[in-house]
Amino acid sequence: MVNINIEIPDEIHKKAKLSSIMKEITLKDFIIHAIEEKLNKHK
């Protein structure tokens, strides 16, 4: 597994964190799923 450090706007972080809480998953898993969805759309 690779570690990636990125800076994102506070508002995006807040929205992602709230969404992950609502889906009862970790923020890490939420971000991984979001990236996977985006990559699958561009196949």
The pLDDT profile of the chain, 43 residues, written as one tens digit per residue, is: 999 999 999 999 999 999 999 999 999 999 999 999 999 997 6
**pLDDT score at 42:** 76
Give domain status of residue 34, yes or no. Answer: yes
Give domain status of residue 4, yes or no. Answer: no
Q: In which domain, by residue range, is 37 found?
A: 10-41
Phi-psi region of 2 (alpha: psi -120 to 50; beta: other; left: phi over 0): beta
DSSP per-residue string spanning 1-43: ---------HHHHHHHHHHHHHTTS-HHHHHHHHHHHHHHHT-
Give domain status of residue 15, yes or no. Answer: yes
As for how many domains the chain has, the answer is: 1
Give domain status of residue 2, yes or no. Answer: no
